[in-house]
Amino acid sequence: MANKEALKELQHRLAERMQAAREQPVTASWLAVEAAGVGLLFSLGQAAEIFTPVPMKAVPYAEPWLAGVANLRGGLYTVVDLAAFLGLREAGLAGSGTRLVTLNPELHMNCALQVDKLLGLRGNEQLQPDAGELPAGRPRYAGALMRDAEGRRWQVLDLEALVRNERFVRIVV
């Protein structure tokens, strides 16, 4: 029970910090998540709310990475297993710490991304561009590579470009 309360408190603090960061246009900030061990950064202007997993209805004959449809705050959201969509692991193998991150309503898509872990918020001052070579054939939604002070590599994921991706939009809409 204490873990549940601690988790609720963490989510509440993250939601407050995300809202405060949206209201401060001085610097861009990021929501750091993990999918199959890969660190990903979502712009706070493109991500919306964080939810604990809820019961989902399966979608017959859909792509394996489409986890289902969920009711979040009274709205129906398509839930995408992000690690499976990105080809990082097989669908349905997410662990117990998964969370759902909804897209900003300005992106006009009722979609939640299922991530394996929330790793908090990051500011631009905490990240430096990674000088490593970018692989050829990267999708448009794969943004810049960044590194933090500990040397961890982060992949920026452009959620606006993701919702325009033909493979993604064909199934999610």
Tokens of 69: 């449809």
Give me the amino acid identity at 139.
P
State mean pLDDT over 46-70: 93
Ranges of beta strands (E only) in 52-116 are 56-57, 66-72, 75-81, 99-103, 111-115
Of the candidates 134, 117, 129, 109, which has an alpha carbon nearest to the alpha carbon of residue 40? 117
Q: What are all long-range contacts of 144-147, with beta carbons under 8 Å and residues at least 24 apart?
A: 146/41
Q: What is the pLDDT of residues 111-150, one digit of tens each?
A: 999 999 999 999 989 998 887 666 667 788 888 899 999 9
CA distances from residue 139 to 124, 162, 167 in whole angstroms, order as listed = 23, 9, 11
Give me the amino acid identity at 150.
E
pTM of this structure: 0.79
Q: What is the pLDDT of residues 72-119, one digit of tens each?
A: 999 999 999 999 999 988 877 666 779 999 999 999 999 999 999 999
d(CA 38, CA 63): 22
